[in-house]
Amino acid sequence: MPEINDSQLGDYIKNILDKNKWSIRKGALQIGVSAAYLSKLINHKADSNPKPATLRKLASGLHVSPEELFELAGIKLSDTSDSDKPEYVDLKEQINDKKKIMTFEGRIIPDEDLEYMERLLRGGKKD
């Protein structure tokens, strides 16, 4: 993957946040990334190049075209691989996988809440 021009990308993201009068924290919530990561991008301190999936997420949250961010990052759309396409995940399998701890916004979801979520997703039926 080509080396990202983090200066252009960071400045572009900062301009959008300023235009929307969003703090880094508010922007991170809108985009769905951590405030620490967003701050690193804006301040040109990101440890690694954002992956195409991350650039798409940024574009969606900032309400800009992904192509703009790809261009700023020096990535041609033809450079993105199939591994960047959405992956189907069975929520029931994830909930029932005892090796995984389910969280929401950093808080652990109690087992009884996971059971309730399963019932809701089944239309209120137990099994």
The residue assigned the tokens 């099994």 is 127
Question: Comparing C-alpha atoms, which of 52, 89, 91 is closest to residue 73?
Answer: 52
pLDDT value for 14: 93
pLDDT value for 4: 45
- Between CA 20 and CA 22 the distance in angstroms is 5
List the chain domain ranges. 6-79, 91-121
The residue assigned the tokens 């703009």 is 68
- What is this structure's pTM? 0.56
pLDDT value for 25: 93
For the chain, which residues score pLDDT lower than 50? 1-4
pLDDT value for 3: 44
Q: Are 79 and 55 contacting, i.e. CB atoms less than 8 angstroms apart?
A: no
- Residues contacting 18, CB < 8 A, separation 6+: none
Q: And the tokens for 73?
A: 């990052």
pLDDT value for 77: 66
Question: Comparing C-alpha atoms, which of 28, 20, 85, 99 is closest to residue 52?
Answer: 85
pLDDT value for 79: 53
The CATH code for residues 6-79 is 1.10.260.40
